[in-house]
Structure 1
């Protein structure tokens, strides 16, 4: 396996675990839904068993997602800077908007969780604009520092968490329908 293959393998395993945890399911519950043994699922999540395509398809269905979302790796353009419209004196952040979007302004005061098991994954897409301060965005194995006037866009199928760096930060969060539903489930816990 190449390094890129290893990174994808690790990312998919983290997504499976994060989606299971986000649903509040035990290993046994997801294993029953996927019709595999709990020990096999545990070995898949922990990297002790090789991922097979047929298992990924079964796990994607059991987790109510698609195989494409489970293996998506498009994280190259996570951070973006604003576009300055000097003629109108405006700053804007282009996003791929769609119907059913929710916009939320939040104040973050603490760092992101230091426990990788606390990262969440769920269907959807999320956009952030940092209004003030500096945020730390954890996406899978990667850590991004997002500063005032920068924006981030990412698929929420990546295990993720957000926090403040060295003091409070204000963010504008934009969620598609699926991402907002995933965050509502987190709020209910």
Structure 2
């Protein structure tokens, strides 16, 4: 039996159970026997349009809902970006609603200028230590520490003078533009 057709029965069973219907209730409403529906759901009877059309009408679903959906390759294959001494590695597809990056900060030689932009940022230190300048505060975060902040507050992030650091950073689309493109860069 075709792989696509083999999955119809279990998906039909899930749709029926999601609507809290018994075999007898759905079969009766669709004008087929409960044993036929049971065999269809268990894969012992091959699906055909004559059986499926009345069932999907009663369930309020489309025939496509019973067919397998193409599963996209979950691997992320994007190049790292080098900017201002940072190595910024995208960890999510560009189309993802969550913008996630691994950022490698070199050992700090001086404090970076604070920036302000819309959104929120979340950072998690993987290794090394970072200096988070947030408003009037200077915070040192080490491995395993995290911070979340409103990016409308003046802020800057850098490794400390002791050595490089690596963080996971999550922010909105405006934060991505601010962190991956300089003022003169073209998107």
TM-score interval (norm. to shorter): 0.3 to 0.5
Task: Flag the structure with larger Rg.
Answer: 2
Higher helix share: 1
So what's the TM-score if we normalise by structure 2?
0.43
So what's the TM-score if we normalise by structure 1?
0.43
